[in-house]
Amino acid sequence: MQVKEVMSKEVITVKRSTTLKQLLEIFAKFHIFPLVPVIEEDNRLVGIVSFRNLINVFHSRQSEIMKAVPFLDEDEEDIFKVEFTEELGNLALAEDIMETKFITIQEGASLEEAYKLMKLHLKEEFPVVDRAGKLVGMVGIFDIIRQVFRQKGIIK
């Protein structure tokens, strides 16, 4: 069975210009840690925003090279003491905080491939793209598990 047969086709997405304030409103609708794809007008996937990216807003003063040094995380900032101005909610955009290096899975990949990729990268969901790199859905570990239970006759 292929990913496209079990993926969610209705995906909450944002544009590069989505504000931090809008992102926070979108994230509030999720019960688990969300992964929100960032797309261009033509539905081409250009980034992802996760809860980790929101946490990183508190550490924006560190340079990118300093963020890459693992032992420097020990001196993590207290998020309750970080000072922000209200304008940050409208000035910071998805483009400013999104990840541009991320893993996707092709819609024609098998469920076994998707499962192995999730295990390998310790991820619970992936954006699903077509051959042109356009977002066509999301597939999560639960989609795969549910299909296995369906194949075993546990559910219909």
Query: What's the pTM value of the predicted model, to 2 decimals?
Result: 0.82
Instruction: Check residue 93 and report its DSSP letter.
Output: B
Distance from C-alpha of 79 to C-alpha of 73, rounded to nearest angstrom: 13
> Domain ranges in the chain?
3-151
Q: In CATH terms, is domain 3-151 a member of 3.10.580.10?
A: yes
Q: What is the pLDDT of residues 112-148, one digit of tens each?
A: 999 999 999 999 999 999 999 999 999 999 999 999 9
pLDDT of residue 19: 95
pLDDT of residue 145: 95
Distance from C-alpha of 27 to C-alpha of 55, rounded to nearest angstrom: 13
Distance from C-alpha of 100 to C-alpha of 95, rounded to nearest angstrom: 9
